[in-house]
Amino acid sequence: MRETWVVGAAQNRFGRMNETSREAATRVAMEAILQSGLRPQDIGYTFVSNCLGITEHQGHLGPLINSGLGIPHVPSVSVESACSSSSAGLHEAFVHVAGGFADAALVVGVEKLSHVDTLTATSYFTVGADYPFETKNGATFPGLYATLATAYRKRFPTTPEMFGAVAIKNHANGTRNPHAHFQKEISMENYLSSPVVAWPLRLYDCCPFSDGAAAVVVAAKDVVQRPVTEPLVIRASVRSGSVTDMQDRPDLLGLPAARLAAERAFRQAHLEPKDIDFAEVHDCFTIAEVLALEDLGFFPKGTAAPAALEGTTARDGKLPVNASGGLKAKGHPVAATGAAQVVEVFEQMNGLAHGREVPRAQTALTHNIGATGGSCSVHIFSRR
């Protein structure tokens, strides 16, 4: 395997896009390529993620993006893995470049849902669940994560404030991220008085529907002569899976796919959880951040809930988590989220995270979940 780097990463401001997914994706892709010092002509393969393009009457987005980048002859493929789509795309890019099938590859994720009403958006989101065995039985996405929350709260001592602190931390981080959908702080009072969506999850436990686009450029070390950015060395690129349905999980106290991916990623990188300086984890709901910290091995089982309240995962804490604002505040444009996590790592390591720098940015981990954990990506990056 060739040493493989992330040499460029860019995203737009998450929230509401007036332009189409096609335009936004092409723009961020061009930005990431130019930032990397490469030219579009250097890209050997494009991996495009866009889960809900059907709402824009547009599929087969890859060739359109490539044509817009002036490289219509370059192959592209759509990569769909629900909320973990573009991290799955990154894994495919890694496999192609590390394996010598391409010298450089482009990963793009984009989503737009603001043109449909909330109910329609909720229904589209839910297609990542098991339709006959979950959705038809009354489930929603917040509902499925809420069942994980009640199981956790029953087994381990927690307070609502512990979950509120996750939301408050990520909102505070979002105020320092110009890419973030939400750039306002919330208080514990705001949190505790927000309406219940799926008990015990309140509105402020949930990430928003966002529009957004993000792109990552991956290249082999030996073909990048003089990197113009501080490249991220991809130390581990791991995907894993699990039974999709809650009714088939051996336990409800974590996501088995995340545990598996983390274990393999640390082995691949020859690193341990204590070696990670900061992490971007999949906090689609506050309970998801708590479970992620345990599944990834940063905290023993049952002990991560107080982390945000105690400041451990704050931007200046022992393990900064979601310095970008996370899905909670930066936003969650489904297929763009995995690539956007890498944008945060790239900006932190390139001195571009102005005003939200983490104290030490040498080694970072990204954790991206597909739906309720049927799939998971874990990546580990280091500076050279």
Interface residue with other proteins among 24, 48, 110, 246 (CB under 8 A) is 246
Task: Report the nearest approach of other proteins to the CB of residue 275 (Å).
Answer: 33
Is position 245 an interface residue for other proteins (rule: CB under 8 A)? yes
Determine if 252 is a binding residue for other proteins (CB under 8 A): yes
> Is 147 among the residues that bind other proteins (CB under 8 A)?
yes
Nearer to other proteins, 24 or 198 (CB): 198
State how far the alpha carbon of 17 is from the alpha carbons of 13, 25, 182, 327, in Å.
Answer: 8, 11, 14, 17
Nearer Cβ to other proteins (1/196): 196
Q: Which of 41, 159, 247, 362 binds other proteins (CB under 8 A)?
A: 247
Binding other proteins (rule: CB under 8 A), the pick from 58, 67, 114, 150 is 150
Q: Binding residue for other proteins (CB under 8 A) from 10, 71, 102, 149?
A: 149
Is 138 an interacting residue with respect to other proteins (CB under 8 A)? yes
Closer to other proteins at the Cβ: 27 or 249? 249
For residue 264, give the H/E element and its range: helix 256-269
Dist CA 171 CA 13 (whole Å):
15
Q: How far is CA 192 from CA 47, 163, 288, 308, 381, in A?
A: 41, 10, 18, 16, 36
> Does 115 participate in catalysis according to the annotation?
no
Instruction: Specify the pairing of strand 375-383 against strand 104-111.
Output: unpaired
By the rule CB under 8 A, 130 interacts with other proteins: yes
67 vs 122 by CB, closer to other proteins: 122
Q: Is 306 exposed, middle or buried (0-12, 13-18, 19+ CB in 10 A)?
A: middle
Among 39, 59, 70, 136, the residue binding other proteins under the rule CB under 8 A is 136
Q: Which amino acid is at 145?
A: Y
Stretch that binds other proteins, among 49-57, 210-218, 241-249, 338-346 (CB under 8 A): 241-249
39, 60, 154, 270: residue in contact with other proteins (rule CB under 8 A) = 154
* Contact of 38 with 228, CB cutoff 8 Å: no
DSSP class of residue 15 equals B
Spell out, one character per residue from 194 to 213, where the chain touches other proteins: x when CB under 8 A holds, - when not.
-xxxxxxx------------
Q: Pinpoint the alpha helices (H) of 274-313.
A: 286-295
Residues 171, 282, 332, 379: which is the catalytic one?
Answer: 332
Told to judge if 332 belongs to the known catalytic residues of this protein, a careful annotator would answer yes
Helix (H) or strand (E) holding 240: strand 232-241
Among 19, 133, 194, 306, binds other proteins (CB under 8 A): 133
Residue of the chain from 28, 38, 93, 148 that contacts other proteins (CB under 8 A): 148
Residue from 132, 157, 300, 355 that binds other proteins (CB under 8 A)? 132
Handedness of CA 61, 52, 247, 251 (dihedral sign): positive
- Please report, as residue ranges, which positions from 101 to 120 form the binding site for other proteins (by CB under 8 A): 119
Does position 157 interact with other proteins (CB under 8 A)? The reply is no
- Minimum CB separation of residue 246 from other proteins in Å reads 5
**What does the alpha-carbon distance between residue 185 and residue 177 come to, in Å, rounded to a whole number?**
12
Measuring CA to CA, how many Å separate 114 from each of 78, 204, 219, 333? 22, 19, 34, 10
Q: Is 62 helix (H, G, I), strand (E, B) or coil?
A: helix
Q: Which helix (H) or strand (E) holds 162?
A: helix 160-174
Binding site for other proteins (CB under 8 A): 119, 122-123, 126, 130, 132-140, 142-144, 146-151, 154, 195-201, 243, 245-248, 252
Write out the catalytic residue numbers: 83, 332
